[in-house]
Amino acid sequence: MAIGAEHFGPSMDLGLLSADDSWEPCQVEPILTLGKGRAARAMLVRATDAEGNERLCVEKIFAPGLLTRLIYRCVFQSPFAYQASADAILACFYRRRAAAALVRTLIPEAAVAEPLYVRWDAESRAYVLASELIRGRGIRPAAANSRILRETTHKWFRNPAEPLDPTPEEIDELLDLMSRLETLFRESGLVGSGWQVSKAAVVATANLLRVDDGYVIVDLESGIPAMLVPYYLFAGLRIGSLPLFDDNDPQVLLRFLETHRGTLRQHLGADGFQRLSNDAEKLIEHSLLWKQAEIAVGRRGLPIVSRHFRDAYRRRRFDIWKQNGLIDDTTDEKLRSSTRLLTRPLYWLGFIPTAVGRFLQRLHGHRTFRQQFKDAVRNSQVRDELLKAYCGRKSRAWQEQGRVHPVRMFSKLSLRFVGNWALSKTVPAPVHRWLSDSNHRRTSLQRMFLLAVSARFQREFGKYAIRGAIREWDKAGRLQPGELQALQSESSSQNFDEYARCFGMHLSVKLIAPLLIPLKIGGVFAFVLTGDVLCLLPIVVSPACRTAITLWRMARNVGRRVNYGEALLVGVLPVIGNLAYPVQMFASHRRLATFLIRDNAARLGRWLPIYGGRDSRVEIAAVKAANLPLELLEIGLSLTAAIRRLFVRTSKTAPTEQVPVILSASRWDRLIDSQLKLLAETEASHQSVSERIDHLVDEPNRLRAAS
C-alpha cells in the first residue's frame, strides 16, 4: 500500500507518520548532535506542537554508513529497513511502547525510553524515530585498585571461614539487570530485542543509561543482524527468520500477554493493558509487512516465488522511489496500476551504485526533474542555480562531518570543489580536513614547531591535553566523588611542569597522525605483498620521535635529578607508547598518573573495531585491566625505594609562587601567545553536553519565574 495513502497524518510538512496515540509536533528545531552509532545518529531537538507545548526530544535519524548498509543488503538483499521502510520504522515505534509497558510492570527498576513520533526526514532521506530525552550517564568504571594481584592471591590462601566482602562494581549490577531484561524479551516473544540487551553482545551495555532510580534502555533498534551470539542464530532457525533482525514471535507474544493479563492489568490499568494489546497487534502487523517485502533468502520458504511477495516487493520499491523523489505523482500512479516491475528500466537503473544511479532513475521517472535538466543544459542561469544549490548541500554535509572549515561554503562548481568531493569519497575526515583547510594545516604545523622548541608551549599544551581528558571523564560521569577536584589540583601544581612539558611533546606526534595513518596502512599492505621490511618504516616513526624527545630531555636535565628511565623504555613501544610519561610520573604524581593510564586504556578499548566503543564491556574491561600495570608500578617503586633514597636527595623547599607571564612584543612570543589563546578558546568552547541540556531544560522554569 502506498505510504501517502495510509501512513501520513495531517502534518505533511514534517513527514509525520500516523501512529496510534503518538504526539504530533508541528515544528522541530535541531539543537545539537548527541552521538552517532552504526545505524543512526542521535540529535537533540526542540519540538513544538500546535498548542505551543515544547518538548526536548532525541531523534534517531536512520542514515547509516556504507558498511552497515552493505551488511544489511548482503544479508537481506534489500535497503536498510529503518532508513527506507515506513512499516519498519512503525514497528520500531510499537515495539518500544510494548517493551516499555512490559519492563515497567515486570522489572520496575528498569525502563525503556518512550517513543513520541516517527517521521520522514527529506534532507537526510531517512526515517526518524523520536523518543523522550533521558538525562543519564554510561557505566562508571570501578575505582582504581593497585592491589588487585595481592588481593587475588590472598583469596586463594585465605581461611575458608573468613568471610568475603567484595566491593560491588557497577558493571556487575548492570549485567545482572541485562540478563533479566534479556530473559523477559525472550519469554515475551520480543526475541530480537533481547539481542540489544544481551550480555554476550559486548557493546550492548552502551544501550542503557544510569539514572537516579535505575537504568533506562535508550536504544532498542539493531544496526547489524544478530549473528554473533549462537542463541539468536538458533532462535532465527526456530522462528524461520535467519538471521534475526529485531524479529518477534507473534504467537509467543500474544500468549505471553494472555498469560500475564492479571499482573499487567493490575499495574497498567484497563486502558494501559488495552493499549499494550493494541501495540502488540500493530507491531506484529507492521513487522509482517516489513519482512514480507524483503527477499531475505535465509527466511522460511521461498517467498520470492509467491505472488504475495512480488506485490509487497513492488509496493516497497514504489514507496522508496516516491519518498526519495525519483518519480513524480503521475509516474507513481502509472506504476502502481501495473503489475510489471522487472521489465522496467527504472528498476534496473537502481542497480547502478552511488548517486549516478539515483540521478538516472530521477531523470527517467520524474518529469519535472527531466524538464529542469533540459533547462539546465540550455540555460546557463538555471544551471548555475542548480549547481549552487548542490554545492551548498555538499558543503553543509562536509561541515557536519568535520571535513572542511566550519564556515567553508562552496557556491559554484570549481576545481577546489571537485577536489574536496574526491577527498570526501576516498580519505577519512581528519586527512580531508588537513588537506583542505589551510588554516587548520598551518595551525597544526605551528604547534608541531612550537612543541619542538618552546618550553612554555610544551608545558601549556601538555596541561591542556590533561585537562581535556579530565573534562571528558567528568562529562561522562565517570569520576568518583571528589576525584575531579583532586585531579585538577594536582595537574595545576608547579612541580608538575616538567612532566607536563614532556607529555605535551609526546602528544605532538599525534598532530601528524592524519598523514601517518594512511602511510602505516599502506606500509603494512606493501610489506604483506612484497616482504620488504623497509615498508614498515612509517610504523616506527612515532616510537622513534618519542625516544628522541626523551633522550633530548635527559641530556638537557642531567643535573636536575628528574628521572626519565621508565619513559624511555615505554616510549619505544607502538600504540601504548603514549603511556610513557603517565608511567614516569607515577612516583611523584600518583593520582594523576593513575588517571592518565586508565584514560589511555579506555581509549584503546574504544578503538577496537566492532567489539569496542564507548561504554562497551571491552572498554570497561580495558580500564579494569589497567590495575595490573598500576600494581606492578607500585610494587616496583616500593622495592627500589630504599635504593633510590641512597642516591637521590629531593629538595625539601616549598614551591615558590608562580611568576605571572609577561607577554613579549617579539614575533616569536606573539606566535606562542596566539597559539595559547587558540587553545584557551577551544577549551572554553568544549562546554559539556549535559550542561547545555540542563540550561535548555531549566529555561522554561526561569521564564515562568521571571513572568
**165 or 670: whose pLDDT is higher?**
670
Asked if residue 529 has pLDDT above 80, the reply is no
Q: Are 220 and 117 in contact (CB under 8 A)?
A: no
| For the chain, the helix, strand and coil percentages under 3-state DSSP, each to the nearest 5 | 60, 10, 30
Q: Are 232 and 222 in contact (CB under 8 A)?
A: no
Q: Any idea what DSSP says for residue 632? A: H
Q: How many CA atoms lie within 13 A of 320 on its CB side?
A: 23
- Which grid coordinates belong to 368? 519535472
Asked if residue 128 has pLDDT above 70, the reply is yes
Q: For residue 445, what pLDDT is reported? A: 87
Sequence-distant (≥ 6) Cβ neighbours of residue 436 within 8 angstroms: 403, 404, 405, 408, 419, 420, 423
Q: How far is CA 561 from CA 498, 553, 590, 635, 651, in A?
A: 12, 12, 18, 22, 10
Helices (H), 534-688: 541-556, 565-571, 580-584, 590-607, 617-625, 627-647, 667-685
3-state SS track over 218-233: CCCCCCCCECCCHHHH
CA 36 and chain centroid, separation: 4
Confidence band (pLDDT; 50, 70, 90) for 221?
A: very high
- Which grid coordinates belong to 173? 549490577
Mean pLDDT of the chain: 83
Confidence band (pLDDT; 50, 70, 90) for 8?
A: very low
Confidence band (pLDDT; 50, 70, 90) for 681?
A: confident
One-letter amino acid of 425: K
**467 or 6: whose pLDDT is higher?**
467
**145 or 550: whose pLDDT is higher?**
145
What's the rounded mean pLDDT across residues 327-355?
89
Cα 532 to Cα 548: distance, rounded to the nearest angstrom: 25
Q: For residue 689, what pLDDT is reported? A: 57
3-class state of residue 326 by DSSP: coil
List pLDDT tens digits, range 252-271: 999 999 999 999 999 999 99
Asked if residue 10 has pLDDT above 80, the reply is no
The three-point CA angle 228-233-236 to 5° equals: 135
Is 0.85 surpassed by the pTM of this model?
no
Q: Any idea what DSSP says for residue 144? A: P
Q: Are 489 and 532 in contact (CB under 8 A)?
A: no
Cα 184 to Cα 190: distance, rounded to the nearest angstrom: 8
Sequence-distant (≥ 6) Cβ neighbours of residue 348 within 8 angstroms: none
DSSP secondary structure, 96-119, as one string = HHHHHHHHHHH-TTEEEPPEEEEE
Query: How many CB atoms lie under 10 A from the CB of residue 189?
Result: 25
Strand pairing report for 41-49 and 25-36 = antiparallel
Cα 546 to Cα 428: distance, rounded to the nearest angstrom: 25
Asked if residue 698 has pLDDT above 70, the reply is no
Q: For residue 425, what pLDDT is reported? A: 86
Element (H, E) at 542: helix 541-556
Q: For residue 156, what pLDDT is reported? A: 64
Q: For the chain, count helices (H), then strands (E).
A: 31, 8
Element (H, E) at 43: strand 41-49
Asked if residue 446 has pLDDT above 70, the reply is yes
Confidence band (pLDDT; 50, 70, 90) for 447?
A: confident
Q: For residue 9, what pLDDT is reported? A: 41
List pLDDT tens digits, range 170-217: 999 999 999 999 999 999 999 999 999 999 888 999 999 999 889 999
Comparing 231-240, 529-538, 570-579, the range with the smallest average pLDDT is 570-579
Q: For residue 503, what pLDDT is reported? A: 67
Between the two ends of the chain, the Cα-to-Cα distance in Å is 51
- Which grid coordinates belong to 440? 587548520
